[in-house]
Amino acid sequence: MNVLIIGSGGREHALAHNISASQKCSSLYVAPGNPGISQFAICLEISIDDHEAIIRKCREHDIKLVVIGPEMPLVLGLADLLRENNILAFGPSASAAKLEGSKFFAREFCRRYQIPQPEFKRFINAQKAKEYVDKIGPKCVVKADGLAAGKGVVVCQTKKQAYEAIDMMLSGGVGDAGETIIVETCISGPELSAFALIDSKVVTWLASARDYKRAFDGDIGPNTGGMGALSPSPEETNTLRDQIMHKILIPVAKGMVLDGAPYTGILYAGLMLTKAGPQVIEFNCRFGDPEAQVILPRLQSDLLELILIHCNQKQESATVSFSNDIAITVVMANKGYPGKYKRNSIIMDMDDIPLDEDSYIYHSGTGTNQKGQIIAKGGRVLSITAKAKNFREARLKAYKTVKKIKWDNGFYRTDIAKY
Ligand code: GLY
C-alpha cells in the first residue's frame, strides 16, 4: 500500500520511520517532510494547508492512506475531505478535533460529561476577565480559545501577569485564536501525557509520556513546544492507568459519540496528577512532538497494521505491544528559540555519527544548503532519542549522541530524565 504522512517535524520523522518498516508499506510519501525523512521516503513539495493538492497527489501516486501528523489540518477538516474522496485518513474529523481546536469546547464538553478538570470561565471582555481573576486569586491560567502555535497558554503567579496575559490575548497578541479566552484556576501536581487510540467503540491505551516544556534546565525560561520527553512516565502505575481510562479516556470517547462527533485516531490527554486524582489540562488530537519520538521507538507492534485495523473499524481485534524499555529524547534547538533565532547555521558531518539500533536522530527544522549540507532552519531542529533498560542508561546514551553533533548555534537542556 502507498502511504502519505502529512507534516515535517520530528513526530513525522518518527511516524515515517515506523511505517516504512512495515511489510505492508509499498511506497512512503511525506508532505513536505524534511532532509532526515528524505533519506528513506519520498518528500512531496506541497503545503499542508493545500488540501485539494493533497487529494490530487493521492490520486497521482495511488495513495490509499494518509496519516495526519499536526493538529491544524485536522482542525481544518483534512480527514473529512480525504474520507469524502474514499481515501483512508488516520486522524479525527474536524468536529471531533475541536477537542484541541477550541479550549472552550473541550472545557464545556468535560463539564457536561463530568470529566475531572479545573474551574474555568470564558471571556471576550478584558474587564470581566480581570474581575474573575480578582475573585479566584492571581494564581491562574489564561488560555486563548483557538490554536496559537504554543503561545496561547500563560500560567500566572501574580495579578500583574494575569492582567497582562488577558490584555495581550484579547487585543490580538495571538491573532484570532485569542478573540475568546478562558481563565482557569491553577491546579498542581506532576504532569503526565496519556496517549490512546480511539474509535467509536474501543479505547486502546497506548503509552504515557512526560515532556519538558520550559526552555532551560530546572524548568525555567519560556514555554516551548517541548525540549525533551521520556516514556513511559515514571508516575504510571496500573491503578493510575485504570483511573485515567475510566474517568477520562472512555468518557471522552462515549461523550463524543453521544454528541454526534465520534472521535477516531490518537487522543493525547495532557493531565495533571492532583491530590484529588488526574485532571485534564488539555486535549490534543494527534501524537505529541517530541512525545512521538519516545513512544514510537518503544512500539513493538507494526504501526501501519495497527493504523489500518483502526481505519477499517476493527480496533477491537488489535493487539498492541510496547517494549518495557525507557525511551528519552533530547531536543536540540536554535539559540534564541522560542524567541528570535538565526537561520541556516550548518550542522556538520551528520552522516558520520554512529548510531546503534536503540539510538535515533529525528529531524525537525532542518534543511539543506546549496552544498548539500544540513542546516538549521526552524526553532526545534533535532530530537536525539535513546532507548535502554532504565532512565540512567537511556540518559547516558542520548547525551552521548548529543555531544557528537557539531552545531555551534544549537542548545539543549542537560536535565532530561534526570531522576
Ligand atoms: N509537546 C507538546 C505537543 O505536542 O503538543
Q: In this predicted model, what pLDDT tens digit does every residue of 110-133 receive, in sequence order? A: 999 999 999 999 999 999 999 999
Residue 281 placed within a domain: yes
Q: Are residues 263 and 351 in the same domain?
A: no
Nearest CA to ligand 1 atom 4: 288
Residue 108 falls inside a structural domain? no
Looking at the fold, whether 82 and 167 belong to one and the same domain comes out as no
Q: Closest ligand 1 atom, CA of 289?
A: 4
* pLDDT tens, position by position, 237-274: 999 999 999 999 999 999 999 999 999 999 999 999 99
Q: Is residue 417 part of a domain?
A: no
Q: What does the pLDDT read at residue 96?
A: 98
Mean residue pLDDT across the chain: 97
What is the spatial distance between Cα 234 and Cα 208, in angstroms, rounded to a whole number? 9
Considering 185, 208, 225, which residue would you say is the last residue of a domain? 185
pLDDT, residue 285, reads 98
State the residue range of the domain holding 366: 326-411
Mutate which of 212, 268, 295, 416 for ligand 1? The one with the most ligand atoms within 8 Å of its CB, which is 268
Strand partners, 123: 181
Task: Enumerate the β-bridge partners of residue 210.
Answer: 230
**Which mutation among 147, 266, 284 tests ligand 1's pocket best, with the greatest number of atoms within 8 A of CB?**
284
Question: Do 207 and 298 have their domain in common?
Answer: yes
Is the shortest distance between the CB of 284 and ligand 1 below 6 Å?
yes
Which of 133, 150, 185 marks a domain boundary? Answer: 185
User: Can you tell me the distance from the alpha carbon of 272 to that of 197, in angstroms, rounded to the nearest whole number?
Assistant: 20
- Residue whose CA is at the smallest distance from ligand 1 atom 5: 288
Note whether 202 and 303 are same-domain residues.
yes
The rounded Å distance from CA 59 to ligand 1 centre is 31
Q: What is the domain-level CATH number for residue 293?
A: 3.30.470.20
Q: Are 195 and 268 in contact (CB under 8 A)?
A: yes
CA angle 242, 248, 252 (to 5 degrees): 130
Whether 276 and 352 map to the same domain: the answer is: no
The amino acid present at 322, given as its one-letter code, is F
pLDDT at 151 over 90: no
Considering only CA atoms, which residue is closest to atom 3 of ligand 1?
A: 288
Pairing, β 42-43 against β 28-32? parallel
In the predicted model, what is the mean pLDDT of residues 173-180? 96
Q: Which of 252, 269, 281 is nearest to 189 (CA)?
A: 281
Taking the C-alpha atoms of residue 116 and residue 82, their distance in angstroms, rounded to an integer, is 34
- Domain end: 271, 297, 317, which one? 317
Which mutation among 75, 233, 291, 413 tests ligand 1's pocket best, with the greatest number of atoms within 8 A of CB? 291
Q: How many angstroms is it from 239 CA to the middle of ligand 1?
A: 25
Position 73 in a domain: yes
Q: 167 and 285 share a domain? A: no
Same domain, 57 and 73: yes
Q: Are residues 159 and 264 in the same domain?
A: no
What integer pLDDT is reported at residue 200 of this predicted model? 85
pLDDT of residue 45: 96
* Confidence band of 149 (pLDDT split at 50, 70, 90): confident
| pLDDT for residue 419 | 77
Pairing of strands 63-68, 2-7: parallel
* Side-by-side strand order, sheet with 2-7: 42-43, 28-32, 2-7, 63-68, 88-90
For the domain that residue 80 is a member of, what is the CATH number?
3.40.50.20
User: On the CB side of 376, how many CA atoms lie within 13 Å of its CA?
Assistant: 27
Does residue 176 lie within any of the structural domains? yes
Q: Is residue 19 domain-resident?
A: yes
Confidence of residue 82 (pLDDT cuts 50, 70, 90): very high
CATH number at 167 reads 3.30.1490.20
**How much distance in Å is there from the Cα of 368 to the middle of ligand 1?**
26
- 6 forms bridges with which residues in the sheet? 31, 68
**Segment 295-353, tens digit of pLDDT:** 999 999 999 999 999 999 999 999 999 999 999 999 999 999 999 999 999 999 888 89
Is the pLDDT confidence value at 168 over 90?
A: yes
Which residues touch 233 (CB under 8 Å, ≥6 apart)? 192, 193, 208, 209, 210
Ligand 1 atom at shortest distance from the alpha carbon of 287 = 4
Residue 279 maps to a domain: yes
Q: What letter would DSSP give residue 389? A: S
Structurally, how many domains does the chain consist of? 4
Task: Over range 131-145, report the average pLDDT.
Answer: 96
User: Which tens digits make up the pLDDT trace of 36-66?
Assistant: 999 999 999 999 999 999 999 999 999 999 9
Q: What per-residue confidence (pLDDT) applies to 349? A: 85
* Whether residue 85 is found in the same domain as residue 150: no
CATH number at residue 336: 3.90.600.10
b/e map of 370-405 (b: 16 or more CB within 10 Å)?
eeeebbbbbbbbbbbbbbbeebebbbebbbebbeeb
Evaluate: CB of 225 within 6 angstroms of ligand 1: yes
Identify the burial level of 213 via C-beta atoms within 10 angstroms of its C-beta, where 0-12 means exposed, 13-18 middle and 19 or more buried: buried
> Looking at the structure, do residues 20 and 62 belong to the same domain, yes or no?
yes
Atom of ligand 1 minimally distant from the CA of 286: 4
pTM of the predicted model, to two decimals? 0.97
Rounded CA-CA distance 227/290 in Å is: 8
Asked, for residue 128, whether it belongs to a domain, the answer is yes
Ligand 1 centroid from CA 7, angstroms: 14
State the sign of the Cα–Cα–Cα–Cα dihedral 90, 96, 102, 104.
negative
Q: Specify the pLDDT at position 272.
A: 98
Claim to verify: residue 295 and residue 368 sit in the same structural domain: no
280 confidence band (pLDDT: 50, 70, 90) = very high
Atom number, ligand 1, closest to the C-alpha of residue 150: 5
> Is residue 301 located within the same domain as residue 223?
yes
Ligand 1 pocket check for 71: Cβ under 6 Å? no
Instruction: Kindly state the cell numbers that stand for 6.
Output: 502529512
Is residue 289 within 6 Å of ligand 1 at its C-beta?
yes
